[in-house]
Amino acid sequence: MTWAATILTLYPEMFPGPLGLSLAGKALAEGRWSLETVQIRDFATDRHRSVDDTPAGGGAGMVMRADVLAAALDSVPDGRPKLVMSPRGRPLDQALVRALAAGPGATILCGRFEGIDERLFEARPLVPVSVGDYVLSGGEPAALALLDACIRLLPGVMGAPSSGEEESFESGLLEYPHYTRPVEWEGRRIPEVLRSGDHAKIAAWRRQQAEAETRLRRPDLIERHGDARRPSPSGAQKKKKKKKDE
Ligand code: SAH
């Protein structure tokens, strides 16, 4: 079955945007995923087709109306997770991406302005998802990032199936560094081990590089994953343990 994305937005022209090109665009043309946009404004009920109003209690900006957004959401059939892009959401990570990609698709609500009337979250089952601790002007670029990450995991989208498995985060570690020809560039050579043809040695080197890189740049990932990504033979190992001994 086709992985189906429905985007609720005030700017449907932003889709598929970059996802109409390259791998995602090819997969879209091949019907490996489908895209539908819903113009939120079509669900406005007043003469001015307004989707927002001034914040209760005062303050800057405008707030998206719960009634209009609920009507837009209710127009989309159930059966797929309904997400709302929000800086207050669950941080998007590869585990969530994998879970979404394995499902039937996603309905994604993109916010604009100052935010969304809180009552919408009480009245409708929406999963808020954040793409990071910074503020975008709208949910659309966040939805594009989420979709891109899901689409590349869909069956048949990436050429070599193995290239998705060794990457950053799949193992709980950042990825090892890559090199390609020329062998020497600006006086820098490709590490000799990579040209040795010794696959075991290369794998060990990459593993060690990945661990060193992660320790340096993202110690939080080591903290979070501990040894969970490498269960002991007994499967019973729970406690955190330094990984230097491998
Ligand atoms: N006033 C809000 C920000 C609103 S930004 C606050 O301070 O939290 C407008 C819209 O952009 C949001 O409704 C959301 O849909 C989207 N957005 C902004 N930053 C985001 C992020 N980090 N992750 C996901 N969506 C984001």
User: Each residue of 63-111: pLDDT tens digit?
Assistant: 999 999 999 999 999 999 999 999 999 999 999 999 999 999 999 999 9
In a domain, 174, yes or no: no
Domain check: are 41 and 119 in the same one?
yes
Order the strands of the 33-39 sheet from edge to edge. 33-39, 3-9, 105-109, 82-91, 127-130
In a domain, 161, yes or no: no
Domain check: are 132 and 219 in the same one?
no
Residue nearest to atom 26 of ligand 1 (CA): 86
Does residue 130 have its Cβ closer than 6 Å to ligand 1? yes
What is the per-residue pLDDT for 83?
Answer: 98
Q: Give me the domain span that covers residue 232.
A: 184-245
Q: What is the pTM of this model?
A: 0.90
CA diameter of the chain: 72
Domain check: are 9 and 121 in the same one?
yes
Angle at 242 between CA 236 and CA 246, to 5 degrees: 85
Domain check: are 143 and 191 in the same one?
no
Does residue 128 have its Cβ closer than 6 Å to ligand 1? no
Domain stop point among 102, 126, 151: 151
Dist CA 223 CA 245 (whole Å): 17
Does residue 135 have its Cβ closer than 6 Å to ligand 1? yes
- Terminal Cα-to-Cα distance of the chain (whole angstroms): 43
Residue nearest to atom 8 of ligand 1 (CA): 87
Domain count of the fold of the chain: 2
In a domain, 171, yes or no: no
Closest alpha carbon to 52 in 42, 61, 63, 44? 63
Domain check: are 139 and 202 in the same one?
no
> Which of 85, 93, 126, 146 has the most ligand 1 atoms within 8 A of CB, as the residue to mutate?
85
Question: How remote is the C-alpha of 218 from its chain's centroid?
Answer: 18
Q: Which helix (H) or strand (E) holds 34?
A: strand 33-39
Judged against a pLDDT cut of 90, whether residue 160 lies above it is answered with: no
Does residue 59 have its Cβ closer than 6 Å to ligand 1? no
CA dihedral of residues 35, 144, 91, 51 (deg, nearest 10): -80
Judged against a pLDDT cut of 50, whether residue 220 lies above it is answered with: yes
Q: What is the distance in A from the centroid of ligand 1 to the CA of 129?
A: 10
